[in-house]
């Protein structure tokens, strides 16, 4: 192995990309059940995407004139952006409120946010009618009265910010010391910018539906939608960080610091405490939302029951479970609860975009297998990308050559 490393030009490829293994060794490590399953998914999804570009969005067969947005928007854009909230949540905890204990999570959270937002762009490239015009709202034609305009700008700026925030890790990996130190100077500015953008655009995602009061079920529609989306994104961000830490320990044993592992239990518990408070706030807001719209009578309808399931099983229950876990100092309970919370947030986003949207129409269409398969494939690919980066770059551990700034 050392011999190979010394061969100069070849060493970058082998050391950086194959993680010090020869090509054959590397390929061998790739053959795992998860990779094979992912590969099959991708192999099915690629032709479907190609067909979309040959026959139109209609070939996916889900979106209709009444329900123009299907799972690619409902799941891959709205849900994933909520799940990618870990980035700004942890960043503000560490850099703004200076809770330094959470520092080990920062890079992973930023990376997950960046990849999450990147998948959003990928989904848009498939779902938009003319994806090559994606930069139009930025540079060419401006619809300043649109919430979507805001979302477009915020998401693209945020994506850029996340990339810059993560770039020190890439530069450390590439041993570009000077550039890395230069970029680090902007770290705080970028973080503050990133948090502001994230707060705005998480709420803007909710704001997208403000314009359709007649179409969204009254229990889900509320003038507070932006606030709902913002608060719930914090809960989902925290839960995602907890979930990510479990997965990291499980799958990246050799990639994490002793430091990270040592304090993880303790940190998870305090994250759980935070999540509990946030969820309780969210629950309270939801109740105020019903009160504001005088929608109490709607609770006794099928949609009402589903609403109650959402706020009791997926908001209030995890809120108490987190609290219980904190009191009992049970890390595993908190981890389990974080999964419930994530599912709950996804359900909320899908409720808003797909399930209760157009609730008053007689004929409705729901996402079909083709679009769902593409949705899932995008997520799986994102996981692969996350793994690829964590395996190579100093994400969960500190690079020996660089001491992290405060």
Partner 1 sequence: MKIDRRDFLKSLSAIGVSGIIGSSEKVFASEDLSGYPDRLGMLTDLILCNGCRLCEKACKEAHNLPPHKKPLEDESVFEKIRRPDDKFLTVVNRYTNTDNEEEPVYRKVQCNHCDEPSCVSACLVGALKKTPEGAVIYNEDVCIGCRYCMIACPFYIPAYEFDDPLSPAIKKCDFCYDVRIKKGGIPACAEICPVEAITFGKRSQLIEFATERIRKNPEKYIDHIYGEHEVGGTSWMYISGVPFEQLGFDMNLGIKPSPELTRGFLSAVPLVMIIGPALLAGIRAFTKNREQNSEKSEQKES
Task: Identify the CA nearest to 190 among candidates 153, 168, 230, 162.
Answer: 162
Least CB distance to partner 1 at residue 202 (A): 12
Q: How far apart are CA 335 and CA 313, in angstroms?
A: 16
Specify the 3-state DSSP secondary structure of 125.
Answer: helix
Q: Closer to partner 1 by CB, 49 or 241: give it.
A: 49
Planar angle of CA 152, 117, 387, nearest 5 degrees: 170
**Closer by beta carbon to partner 1, 98 or else 327:** 98
Q: Are 112 and 166 in contact, with CB atoms under 8 Å apart?
A: no
**Could you give the angle at which helices 33-55 and 369-392 cross, rounded to 10 degrees?**
130
Q: Give the x-and-dash track for 219-258 against partner 1 (CB under 8 A).
A: ----x--x--------------------------------
Binding flag, residue 144, partner 1 (CB under 8 A): yes
Alpha helix ranges (H) inside 21-146: 23-30, 33-55, 71-73, 80-83, 86-91, 106-127, 136-139
| Binding range to partner 1, per CB under 8 A, among 96-104, 170-178, 328-336, 383-391 | 96-104
What is the nearest approach in angstroms of partner 1 to the Cβ of residue 100?
9
Q: Which of residues 34-73 bind partner 1 (CB under 8 A)?
A: 52-59, 63-66, 68-69
Q: Residue 355: how many CB atoms within 10 A of its CB?
A: 19
Q: Which is nearer to partner 1, 204 or 290 (CB)?
A: 204
Q: Who's near 241: CB < 8 A, 6+ residues apart?
A: 86, 89, 90, 105, 108, 109, 271
Tokens representing 363 are 């004929």
Would you count residue 130 as binding partner 1 (CB under 8 A)? Answer: yes
Residue in this structure with the two tokens 């849900």, named with its chain if needed: 79
Residue 134 or residue 372: which is nearer to partner 1 going by CB? Answer: 134
- Contacts with partner 1 in 150-189 (CB under 8 A)? 150-152, 188
Please tell me whether residue 294 binds partner 1 under the rule CB under 8 A.
no
* 6 interacts with partner 1 by CB under 8 A: no
> Would you tell me which residues interact with partner 1 (CB under 8 A)?
52-59, 63-66, 68-69, 92, 95-98, 128-131, 133-134, 136-137, 140-152, 188, 192-193, 195-196, 199-200, 203-204, 207-215, 223, 226
């Amino acid at each position: 192995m050392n011999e190979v490393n010394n061969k100069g030009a070849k060493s970058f490829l082998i050391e950086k990309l194959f993680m010090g293994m020869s090509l054959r060794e590397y390929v061998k490590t790739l053959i795992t059940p998860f990779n094979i399953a992912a590969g099959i998914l991708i192999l099915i999804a690629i032709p479907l995407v190609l067909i979309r570009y040959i026959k139109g969005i209609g070939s996916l067969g889900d979106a209709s004139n009444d329900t123009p947005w299907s799972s690619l928007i409902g799941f891959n854009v709205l849900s994933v952006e909520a799940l990618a909230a870990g980035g700004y949540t942890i960043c503000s905890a560490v850099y703004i409120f200076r809770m330094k204990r959470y520092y080990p999570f920062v890079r992973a959270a930023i990376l997950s946010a960046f990849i999450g937002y990147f998948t959003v762009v990928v989904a848009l490239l498939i779902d938009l009618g003319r994806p090559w015009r994606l930069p139009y709202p930025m540079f060419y034609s401006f619809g300043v009265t649109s919430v979507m305009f805001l979302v477009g700008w915020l998401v693209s700026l945020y994506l850029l910010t996340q990339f810059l925030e993560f770039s020190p890790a890439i530069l450390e990996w590439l041993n570009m010391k000077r550039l890395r130190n230069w970029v680090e100077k902007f770290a705080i500015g970028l973080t503050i910018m990133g948090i502001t953008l994230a707060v705005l655009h998480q709420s803007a995602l909710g704001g997208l539906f403000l314009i359709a009061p007649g179409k969204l079920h009254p229990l889900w529609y509320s003038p507070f939608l932006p606030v709902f989306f913002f608060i719930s994104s914090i809960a989902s961000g925290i839960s995602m960080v907890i979930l990510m830490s479990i997965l990291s320990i499980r799958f990246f044993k050799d990639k994490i610091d002793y430091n990270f592992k040592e304090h993880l239990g303790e940190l998870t518990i305090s994250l759980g405490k935070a999540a509990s408070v946030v969820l309780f706030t969210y629950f309270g807001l939801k109740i105020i939302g019903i009160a504001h719209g005088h929608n109490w009578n709607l609770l006794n309808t099928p949609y009402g029951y589903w609403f109650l399931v959402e706020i009791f099983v997926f908001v209030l229950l995890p809120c108490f479970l987190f609290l219980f876990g904190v009191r009992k100092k049970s890390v595993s309970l908190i981890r389990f609860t974080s999964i419930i919370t994530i599912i709950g947030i996804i359900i909320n986003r899908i409720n808003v975009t797909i399930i209760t949207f157009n609730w008053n129409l007689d004929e409705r269409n729901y996402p079909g297998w083709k679009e769902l398969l593409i949705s899932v494939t995008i997520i799986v690919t994102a996981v692969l990308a996350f793994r690829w980066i964590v395996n190579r770059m100093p994400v969960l551990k500190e690079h020996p050559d660089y001491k992290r700034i405060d």
